Structures are given as C-alpha cells and as structure tokens.
Amino acid sequence: MQSNISLPESPPQLKRALTEETMEKNRERAKLYYLNNREKVLAKMKTNYAKKRQRQVEEHCEKYRDFLVNYFHIDPIISLPTQEALPEQETMGNDPLKLSFILN
C-alpha cells in the first residue's frame, strides 16, 4: 500500500560561494587534467566552437532570409538584356576587356 502523502517542497537552494582555497584546488585540478589530456580537450573545444559557429551562421541566415529574398527579388515580367540586345560594337571585339582586344 502506497500512501498519498506529499512531501513539502523545499525552498530553492542558494548557490554557495566557493572559498579561495577551493577555487585554487579546482584550478590546479583543471590544469593537471589539461596537461594529461591536452589533445582530447582541444579536440572537444574545436568541435564545440565549430558547432556554435555553425548555429550562429544558421541563425543569421534565418534572420535575414526574408529580407534578402524580398530585396533581391527580380520581377519575371521585366527581362534582362540578352546578347542579341547588346550593341554590335561589343560583339565585334572592340571591348578593351576582351582577350582578343588585348592580344591585338
């Protein structure tokens, strides 16, 4: 038989402040761990950095996606000029940026 007695909720725990001595012990322990596991620690840091960076890039793209789609939208009714619409002098090789003009 189980009793339906509910325990009173405990008040929220306050975060206890660490003493200088405890903080120094933690620093020494962390340094020792780093010295013994340097490659593992650096690999984990690199992967965490890469994941965070990728997430930031995705969030940035998502944030500005609608703006970019609306800003750079080209109306399909207005057509872009084609090669036939260009003046004949550019197609004849008189363009100073073309290789045939430079070599002659």
Averaged pLDDT, 13-23: 88
pLDDT for 52: 96
Query: 3-state DSSP call for residue 51?
Result: helix
pLDDT for 12: 76
What is the value of pTM for the model shown? 0.45
What are 39-79's pLDDT values in tens digits?
999 999 999 999 999 999 999 888 888 777 777 765 545 55
From residue 49, give the alpha-carbon distance in Å to each of 33, 37, 58.
20, 18, 14
Give dist(CA 30, CA 41) in Å, integer: 11
Of 83 and 33, more confident: 33
